Amino acid sequence: MTIVPSPQPTVAAAMTVCNKTPDGCSQQPSFSLVAIRDLAIHVDWKNVTPGTRTQKLEMLDPGGGSYQVLNTSFVEEDGGNGAAATDVLIPISGSMITQRSITGTWTLRVSLDEQTVATQSITFAP
C-alpha cells in the first residue's frame, strides 16, 4: 500500500496599505501626493511552511518599472499555525514620487521565496 501525503494548502497573502502619519494610518485605494507621508504595507501570510522564509515586496511605477524592492526574512516554526505578518514602511513625502509628481496606478507585488503570491494596485493622485 502506498501512502500519499495530503497536499499542503496554498500559501496566501493579504496586503493592507495605508498613509502612515503620527495620528494613525488612513487606509484607502488612492492617496494624494500633497497629503501622503509614508506608505505603510502590512502583509498577513497564511499556510506558510516551517523554515526561514524571504518576503520580497516590489513597488512598481505606473509604467511597470521597479521603484523599490524590499526583502524581509522571517521564521515559521515547526508546529506553528502557518501564519506570519510583516510590516514595511516606504517614505513617500519628499521622495522622487512627490518631487516629480508621478501620479497614476502603482502596483505592489509580494513574493515568498521568489514565488509571487499577491498583487495590489494603489493610485497616487495630485
Residue 97 forms part of a structural domain: yes
Residue 48 forms part of a structural domain: yes
Residue 60 forms part of a structural domain: yes
pLDDT 10s digit of each residue in the chain, 126 long? 777 666 778 999 999 999 998 888 888 889 999 999 999 999 999 999 999 999 999 999 999 999 999 999 999 999 989 999 999 999 999 999 999 999 999 999 999 999 999 999 999 999
How far lies 87's CA from each of 1, 29, 74, 102, in Å? Answer: 46, 18, 11, 24
> Which of these, 78, 76, 64, lies nearest to 109 by C-alpha position?
64
Residue 80 forms part of a structural domain: yes
Q: How many distinct structural domains can be found in the chain?
A: 1
Residue 7 forms part of a structural domain: no
- For the domain that residue 45 is a member of, what is the CATH number? 2.70.50.40
| Domain limits for position 95 | 12-114
Element (H, E) at 68: strand 66-76
Kindly report whether the global pTM for this prediction surpasses the value 0.85.
Answer: yes
How far lies 102's CA from each of 21, 37, 75, in Å? Answer: 21, 15, 36
